[in-house]
Structure 1
């Protein structure tokens, strides 16, 4: 079985009986057919070329999301998702952002940069706070486990949750955490109407996709004081350009789409690939198969 994998040292060290590895960089790949593809760190152009390789039977994407692959996946090619590679890191990042906001650490950092000894900030905790996790899947369940010891009360909702049930949960939320994938149905799902349903002072945390939120509506809710603030690992547009008004919001914490990043991510990705290929060559079905219409 010939499998194309990223040209990284951790992947070059892989040895799986019955598997011939070919290595692609961001923009270049070796010629020839491939039975399988481990997709990671490829440019959009190379990704499309790799997905069109003759003989391709399956694709394992090591990215957190799959929408960029499902749009281009040829018919008859099986897709696998490695959500387990990223779930805990994203959940930890989300919890860290919420705790940072609750304790006002971002404002203390601003005061530090200005050389001010600021002691008059309104500080809180997550104790007793109602947290709505919108996109209650693998990551959401881990996040609930992390937040429970801090006294948070968690309600999980999904994109298919009935609208009246969803709106009732949102109206009581102190925090709304977005972990939804980007689909035609979820694009702009957090609009001015949804934001208006949130109680005064509620916070938004988005680790899903930037286009889940109507950015203009978010800015309006922030500047009016209706929202307490926002923690954003993803934005629309992305990357967020220099001079964008979100940068200037004191009650917004922005990270550059790195919620799933860890120092050992590539090593863990290579080990995940080794285990996946071992299952495949042993004739067993690896975990993570994506069924038609499924999204993470």
Structure 2
């Protein structure tokens, strides 16, 4: 089977003799600069491809399956040819994203962002800033909006801190969604970007939340109406936010979110680890081996999958 893979060292290693070799597989390497090799291919591993490269990969003759080494699949909507199976790689990212979520919540609870700002100013804060509300997560009501693989890991990590966790999915009754959100001290967004979820946290919804609620978004930036969030931060309705994704993204210089002392922004790196390329290649190898040996890999998704 011929498989198109990213032109990266960890994937080249799969083509070399040794423990990671893929017998019965011809690997062909693509990149955004060099493009996609000519000829048929039975499968493609999609990663770090720009729109033009992605379009070229999906147009390859003979394509039967695509593995996207991302957890989200919103970049594939309207793109996948009929009859081509799609797999995602949530297991590659779940742990790192869950750790990022919890780290952001703990940092915010302890006011690390404020003290880091003071450090940059060379200022020793002998007394905690009153409005920073230094506390622990003990007894805090945390709503995980998008309760899938990542949400379950976040829940497990938060339990030792005494937080009270509630997960919301697309099957949760609307009245219960409203109730859980209204009582939350933290709303953690882990949703994909779909027609149903874009702008789900808008002025109307924010007004129904508990005053002082914190928002954490590791889903997609367009889940939140940014101007509405800024207004809620101004009024105090929202106590603060931890944002790994934003709308717009990347967040441009001079944007009003940058200088909010109660907003922690990271540049869409929740799933990033120093060994991500190597882990991605190992994960791709496991999926290819499953397919070669007639086993069904985990992670098959449909483009209508939500949360």
Partner residue, 2:3: 3
Shift of 1:65: 1.1
Partner residue, 2:185: 174
2:261 and 2:236 mapped to 1: Cα distance? 12
Of residues 212, 215, 221 in structure 1, which corresponds to 2:226?
215
1:240 and 1:160 mapped to 2: Cα distance? 33
Partner residue, 1:12: 12
Structure 2 residue ranges without an equivalent (≥5): 15-20
Partner residue, 2:88: 81
Shift of 1:29: 1.9
Shift of 1:161: 2.1
1:269 and 1:230 mapped to 2: Cα distance? 30
Partner residue, 2:76: 69
Alignment length (residue pairs): 296
* Deviant stretches of 4+, over 3 Å: none
Q: Deviations over 1:164-217 (max 9, x none)?
A: 110100111000000000001101011111111111111000000000001111
Structure 1 residue ranges without an equivalent (≥5): none
1:69 and 1:172 mapped to 2: Cα distance? 35
Of residues 21, 28, 39 in structure 1, which corresponds to 2:27?
21
TM-score by length of 1: 0.98
Q: Deviations over 1:138-184 (max 9, x none)?
A: 00000000000011110000134222110100111000000000001
2:69 and 2:78 mapped to 1: Cα distance? 16
TM-score by length of 2: 0.94
Task: Identify if the C-alpha distance between structure 1 residues 75 and 180 changes in structure 2 by more than 3 Å, giving closer, same or farther.
Answer: same
Q: 1:229·1:251 contact (CA, 8 Å) conserved in 2? A: yes
Backbone CA RMSD of aligned residues? 1.0
Q: 1:234·1:256 contact (CA, 8 Å) conserved in 2? A: yes
Q: 1:78·1:289 contact (CA, 8 Å) conserved in 2? A: yes
Q: 2:36·2:56 contact (CA, 8 Å) conserved in 1? A: no
1:197 and 1:52 mapped to 2: Cα distance? 46
Residue 198 of structure 1: SS of its match in structure 2?
A: coil
Shift of 1:292: 5.2
Q: Counterparts in 2 of 1:237-256, with a 5 A limit?
A: 237-256=248-267
